[in-house]
Amino acid sequence: MTEPERSANQYVVCTKGQWKELVAVAVDTAPSQVEKTAKAIATAAGVGWQTVREKIQAIQCVLRGGYSTEYIIGRGQKQTIADYRKAKAEKRLDPYVVMGWRVTAETRFAVQSEVLRICKVLKIKHSETFWTWWHAEASGWTEQQIRHSGGEPRLKRCSEEK
């Protein structure tokens, strides 16, 4: 075995060992002490405490799910944290989200003006009501109607010019 291969193997062994030890720490850490423990570990290891905190929280989350420490160690750091982040993201789905597109100021003004005009005519007071109306309108359009209203030949010319 070459020296680089030996070093790589040693690195893998150390990394797996660190994960195993962090799992043991997470098992013994009360939820109220996670931040304090993460800061202490991070300071000693020279890493970011938020990262250590998230790893401990991920381990504790899996433990609360009824899984064993052996399972968590075997599953590995990458998969454990990915599952934790996914579960966390699913919980924080807000009922309202921002939909963003980058447009020129002129386009934004034109669209906002039309939205306000439609809301005034239909007596719409909330953005959710507007978007529900808009979705109902647009979802009934056939592909042919969309192409026609978009001026398909004109759109092809515009895309060819770019």
Same domain, 139 and 79: no
- Contact by Cβ (8 Å): 63, 72: yes
98 part of a folded domain: no
Same domain, 8 and 82: yes
Task: Give the C-alpha separation, 43 to 41, whole Å.
Answer: 5
Number of H helices, E strands in the chain: 9, 0
For every one of its 162 residues, what pLDDT tens digit does the chain have, with 9 covering 90 and above? 898 888 888 888 888 889 999 999 999 999 999 999 999 999 999 999 999 999 999 999 999 989 999 999 999 999 999 989 988 887 776 677 777 889 999 999 999 999 999 999 999 999 889 999 999 998 988 888 888 887 766 555 555 555
What is the model's pLDDT at position 154? Answer: 56
Task: Give the C-alpha separation, 145 to 139, whole Å.
Answer: 11
Same domain, 67 and 133: no
pTM of the model: 0.56
Map residue 140 onto helix, strand or coil.
coil
Same domain, 29 and 86: yes
**Pick from 31, 11, 9, 8: which is nearest to 19 by CA?**
11
Q: Which two tokens stand for residue 85?
A: 């982040």
Q: Which two tokens stand for residue 25?
A: 């720490």
Tokens 């660190």 -> residue: 18
Last residue of a domain, one of 91, 117, 136: 91
What is the model's pLDDT at position 159? Answer: 56
Structural domain boundaries, residue 133: 107-155
Query: In one letter, which amino acid is 97?
Result: V
What is the domain count for the chain?
2
Same domain, 75 and 113: no
161 part of a folded domain: no
Last residue of a domain, one of 57, 91, 125: 91
39 part of a folded domain: yes
